[in-house]
Amino acid sequence: MKTPQRILALLFPMLLVPALRAAEIRVGLIGLDTSHVIAFTKTLNDPKAKDHVPGARVVAVFKGGSPDIPSSANRVEGYTADLLKYPGVKLYDTVAELVKNVDAVMIESVDGRPHLKYAREVLPSGKPTFIDKPVAGSLRDTLEIYALARKHNTPVFSSSSLRQSVQLATQGMKVGELRGASTFGPCELEPHHPDLFWYGIHAVEALYTVMGRGCQTIVRTHTPTADVVTGVWSDGRVGTMRGNRNTKGSFGLTVFGSTAIVSPELKVNYSPLLNDVVKFFQTRVAPVTPEETIEIIAFMEAADESKRRGGAPVSIADVIKANQPR
């Protein structure tokens, strides 16, 4: 039996369009210095876009940008102009004004350092906030962001798009008991960030997607062309991440199990991430726990500490303890 709403939809389909649009979550973007803002806005706002994700729409933007990082400063104006071509997108001069006019926020700045500053302005609103990778420019800043989130009861979600790529690639995979995993990906360095924070985070996030929490110690080997970080988990599993420089910029994964070893193909696509982001905005439940994101950041911070110690083992717990907000 057809419901009254279904009958109306069949007879007068346009009557339902305003209601559907009204239900869309209004999203504000902070930090217009990454190609993500262009790709994300197209995927959310353009129904004709390939892999369009419904349910949310970008309606507000704030420039941001970091003058000491050329790849940030050189992109802001062009990306801003491109975003303002979308109907209904408004540029705000302050983060505070943007927050007043949206339902949810995406902190997108390619530079992780200002993420804490933006979080201090956004999180008191209680509005769900996605923070693009890296969640912050340091472990200490990350810990403070999640402390603010707890204080204001504001849900926060951060993830690399590699997480969803790995989830799709390993769906239904059978390897018996998980013994470990190895990932690789590009790892260009940026002088204002700990080494893995800039791009190595993708391969680290992929590793954690398979391994989960529980890494206790890590050891890092560093050369001009590569970083290899080996982590030992509390149950004896071993995970490795290799970050490549001056090589082909691709990602890879190998999963080691008791009955099989599998290397699935990883297909990087923003739509699965944005599906998770929209669902997060709707439910206020993050698909990745704060504890896991904090451990990912601690893993990378510990890798820098291991490098400083000439490749000596470093405890994740010790690094977290040493980086508590002052």
Single out the residue of 201, 182, 165 nearest to residue 296, CA to CA: 201
pTM score of the predicted model? 0.91
Domain 162-268+288-322 coded CATH 3.30.360.10: yes
pLDDT tens for the chain, 326 residues long, are 444 444 444 444 434 333 445 589 999 999 999 999 999 999 999 999 999 999 999 999 999 999 999 889 999 999 999 999 999 999 999 999 999 999 999 999 999 999 999 999 999 999 999 999 999 999 999 999 999 999 999 999 999 999 999 999 999 999 999 999 999 999 999 999 999 999 999 999 999 999 999 999 999 999 999 999 999 999 999 999 999 998 888 999 999 999 999 999 999 899 999 999 999 999 999 999 999 999 999 999 999 999 999 999 999 999 999 999 88
Q: How far apart are CA 23 and CA 128, in angstroms?
A: 16
In the chain, CATH 3.40.50.720 sits at 4-132
In the chain, CATH 3.30.360.10 sits at 162-268+288-322
Superfamily covering domain 4-132:
NAD(P)-binding Rossmann-like Domain (3.40.50.720)
42-74 CB burial, b ≥16 within 10 A, e <16: bbbbeeeeeeebebbbbbbbbbbbbeebeebee
Residue 91 CB neighbours (<10 A): 14
Q: How far apart are CA 302 and CA 182, in angstroms?
A: 18
